[in-house]
Amino acid sequence: MSRTIIPFGPQHPVLPEPVHLDLVVEDEKVIEARPSIGFVHRGLEKLVEKKDYVEFVYVAERICGICSFIHGQTYCQAIETIMDVAVPPRALYLRTFWGELSRIHSHLLWLGLMADAMGFESLFMHSWRIREKVLNIIEATTGGRVIFSSCKIGGVRRDVEADSIKGILAEINGIEKEMRDITKVFLNDDSVNARLGGVGVLTKQEAYDLGCVGPMLRASGVAQDLRSLGYAAFMDIPVEPITRSKGDCYARCAVRCEELFQSVQIIRTALEKIPAGEIAVKVTGNPDGEAIARTEQPRGEVVYHVKANNSKNLQRFRVRTPTFANLPAMLKVLPGCDLADVPVIVLTIDPCISCTER
Amino acid sequence: MSYFTMTQMALKWAFSKPATTSYPFTPRKELVGSRGWLVFTDDACVYCNVCAKKCPTGALVVNRAEKSLSIDRLSCITCGCCVEVCPKDSLELSSSHGAVQLSKGGETFQRKET
């Protein structure tokens, strides 16, 4: 049978960001997928030469629009390790609170996109309606909707008043109730199950060998969540990785649905246990040394490598983002699938191309 | 049953107020604490230039001799660094998001001689 190459992306209704795939198809079956990236490269790593290490927090936050806060937090953690800064516990709890809020809004965004990719428009609208409430909490507490700008080296820039914590918890309870409704549809609806079940299966061994991270890895049965390492306030708040064993698109969807409620629980615990005290310490001098920081983003593990030589500007800055780690797995599961399943499989790795290309 | 979950939601929203608003005819409700428009009041400003030095995008230009401060609205990322470092509290971020910027260049505030 003759083979045809079908270009997929960079502009495609299912893709929120530009990635291009050359799909080699035989009839309706995909035989091979050849990716090409580089459409949104912005050279942010090179910017360390122009921006000093304090200002660079704002650049790090702009690597990604969805997990912006965790990017800023990871960068700060790396610099704090080099400079040996002890961050006040209240700041660590606030970082955890905002980090989990951004996880909820990222997962809700993904669930909405997933529903849209399946043609379930009303579910897409409801996911994003709930996400808007999360964004309102974020805006009220940090001042920004998606770019929080609330993390700085040595702590955080804004405090959450004790009076508003009660209101936030009440709002979170309402959001949780509404999320239960929409996740019920994602997990129990026959049409969703038929569309996602058994599609794009990645076995446990393959996921491990290909170096997958985040929900992609956990959906294949590997219990790995960097939050269990105990960065920020996770040393006091234990996190059990949520896993599934099937490794198909449905399992990835289910992991993300459950992580929503896990994050809600973490936020509740963090706000209840939040200690009083300072929110930041003064940081003076320039960093000198090398450090690696790892955190769990909504999409998986992000690794920051920072090298400094006692000057205002960093010497080297490198980011390994979760989507970059998950791309090989996506290319592994695409061959053999139906052409109609490609959008769903591409979406289940939650591709964040701006992160990947920086 | 999930079929009925969607039915219930559809029925609920069919008889409820829409979650969306008809922006710009209905302005968005401002949230207290939101970082919006940078507001400058020149009463107490000593034109020390600290805000301009700390601005990560170089959106602020201070001229001490002429007693003027210029804000480039298109460069400003409303991070609030200038507000934090201002010794005289002359700068603040209002929760409203201000007008649409139609032209390039800074908005200059010149102190009026009394």
**Residues of chain A contacting B79 with CB distance shorter than 8 Å:** 58, 149
**Residues of chain B contacting A55 with CB distance shorter than 8 Å:** 56
- Candidates A85, A313, A55; CA nearest to B85 is A55
Check residue A143 and give its pLDDT: 85
State whether B5 and A184 contact (CB < 8 Å): yes
State whether A143 and B33 contact (CB < 8 Å): yes
Beta-carbon contacts of residue B98 (< 8 Å; ≥ 6 apart) = B36, B37, B73
* Interface with A, mutate which of B79, B95, B97 (most A CBs under 10 A): B79
- Candidates A347, A56, A190; CA nearest to B3 is A190
Check residue A267 and give its pLDDT: 93
In the CATH scheme, what is the code of domain B33-110? 3.30.70.3270
**Would you state the CATH architecture of domain A49-350?**
Orthogonal Bundle (1.10)
Residue B17 clears pLDDT 80, i.e. is over it: yes
Q: Which pTM value belongs to this model?
A: 0.89
**Residues of chain A contacting B33 with CB distance shorter than 8 Å:** 139-143, 158
The domains of chain A are located at 1-39, 49-350
Check residue A71 and give its pLDDT: 92
Q: B43-74: per-residue pLDDT in tens?
A: 888 889 899 988 988 899 888 888 888 888 88
Beta-carbon contacts of residue A4 (< 8 Å; ≥ 6 apart) = A24, A25, A26
- Candidates B73, B81, B24, B74; CA nearest to B54 is B81
In Å, how far are A188, A242, A248, B5 from A193, measured between CA atoms? Answer: 7, 19, 11, 16
Segment B75-83 mean pLDDT: 88
Beta-carbon contacts of residue B102 (< 8 Å; ≥ 6 apart) = none
Check residue A198 and give its pLDDT: 84
Chain A contact for B19 (CB, 8 A cutoff): yes
Interface ipTM: 0.84
Check residue B1 and give its pLDDT: 53
Chain A contact for B31 (CB, 8 A cutoff): yes
User: What's the CA dihedral at B47, B53, B56, B58 to 10 degrees?
Assistant: 60
Q: Measure CB to CB from residue A143 to each of B2, B19, B35 and give the nearest one.
A: B35
Q: What rounded mean pLDDT belongs to chain A?
A: 89
**Residues of chain A contacting B8 with CB distance shorter than 8 Å:** 181
**Residues of chain A contacting B53 with CB distance shorter than 8 Å:** none
Chain A contact for B105 (CB, 8 A cutoff): no
Residue of chain B whose alpha carbon sits nearest to that of A184: B2
Chain B contact for A118 (CB, 8 A cutoff): no
Q: In what order do the strands lie in the sheet with A29-36?
A: A3-8, A20-26, A29-36
**Residue A293: strand, helix, or coil:** strand
**Residues of chain B contacting A129 with CB distance shorter than 8 Å:** 19
Give the range among A127-131, A210-214, A279-283, B101-105 with minimum mean pLDDT. Answer: B101-105
Phi, psi angle pair for A289, to nearest 5°: 140, -165
The domains of chain B are located at 33-110
Chain A contact for B4 (CB, 8 A cutoff): no
